[in-house]
Amino acid sequence: MGRRNITHVSDFILIGLTDSEEIRLVLCTLFLLIYLITVLGNVGMILVIHLDSQLNTPMYFLLSHLSFLDLSSSSVITPKTLDNLLTSNKYISYLNCFIQMNFFIFLAATECFLLCSMAYDRYVAICNPLHYLVVMSTRRCCPILFGSYLIDFMDSSVNVLCMSRLHFCDSNVIYHFFCDVPPVLALSCTDTCAIEIIISVFAGSTLLVSLIMVSASYVAILSTILKIASTSGKQRAFSTCASHLLAVTVFYGTTIFTYAKPSKSYSLGKDHVASVFYTIVIPMLNPLIYSLRNKEVKNALRRVMWKRKGPNN
């Protein structure tokens, strides 16, 4: 095997989604609209939860942090994607590439454990409702939330240490529209076997542990719902977790579809549709899922708007 010159890469080239100017304009318009809806939806959700006293419950406390993570995750990926589509500026600096990558990993991993915490919240609410306010008190929610951020910060730190050991020789062209781990690994002339194993172990453990805990919560929830005698009681119980179950299905479904495959396949650019849905569309969907399917959020929004208008109006 011939030797390759190891050079210091100052920037990367993001191939993006398409070379067609017409399609780029359409995608830019679509992504800009999605991003605006994402910002308005998630900021609106956070404000409504904090402004309405009736939503000061553990469930909505966790939901406000989910909105924060969705807003942050979208802001890490979408602005640079819009810049690439609008100006054809495909360059991203080495530092910015790795900052984008590690923020994205941190936010996605934190969302895994936050969805897990929300599933446990629904489990307590349905399976042990009399002790809900004790088990899911603010004093207990805060440590759970802090633990999620801390664990995933450690996860992303491991990724930083691993990726910092890479060298790039033959190419700096990333066959993707953002700096994701698999396509960047594919560019390295360093032996990445050990790094891939370490990253896969940490990322796989995060996904698997959170998925097992979510699944266990919903198995217990389903078992409790089936024991309820009345149909209306079953419907009420199911409605309390329907929005979260839909959000979990969409998030884990696209995550597993995107990353449960050999890393080299990402360099071929065949997973763009799934990646667009995972990084750009899902952050917009979560506030819509929780607002359109949730009467409490709708009523809270009306109360907030009523207060803003004032009693004279």
Vertex 221 angle, CA 220 and 224, to 5°: 85
* Residues shown for the chain: 313
Q: CA-based Rg of the chain, rounded to a whole angstrom?
A: 22
Q: How confident is the model at residue 1 (pLDDT cuts 50, 70, 90)?
A: very low
* Of 7-16, 263-272, 293-302, the least confident: 263-272
Bridge partners (DSSP) of residue 93 are 11
* Nearest alpha-carbon partner for 177 in 67, 286, 83: 83
- Residue 57: name the closest of 309, 312, 303, 296 by CA: 296
Q: So what's the pLDDT on residue 48?
A: 87
CA distance 230 to 313: 43
What percent of the chain shows pLDDT beyond 90?
A: 20
Strand partners, 12: 92
Check: CB of residue 162 under 8 Å from CB of residue 200.
Answer: no
With bands split at pLDDT 50, 70 and 90, how would you rate the model's confidence at 260? Answer: low
Confidence of residue 103 (pLDDT cuts 50, 70, 90): very high
Q: Which domains does the chain have, with CATH numbers?
A: 15-260+269-309 (1.20.1070.10)
**What sign for the dihedral angle of Cα 180, 187, 98, 33?**
negative
> What is the rounded distance in angstroms from the CA atom of residue 28 to the CA atom of residue 40?
18
Average pLDDT, the chain: 83
Average pLDDT for residues 167-179, to the nearest whole number? 83
Most confident of the ranges 13-27, 65-79, 85-99, 291-305:
65-79
Beta strands in 65-192 (DSSP E): 91-93, 173-174
Inter-residue contact 287 to 39 (CB < 8 Å): no
Query: Quick one: 51 exposed, middle or buried, by C-beta within 10 A (0-12, 13-18, 19+)?
Result: middle
Residues 6+ apart with CB under 8 A from 42: 67, 68, 70, 71, 74, 283, 286, 287
Question: Rounded to two decimals, what is the model's pTM?
Answer: 0.86
Residues 12-67 have pLDDT tens digits of: 888 888 888 888 899 999 999 999 999 999 998 898 888 887 888 888 888 899 99
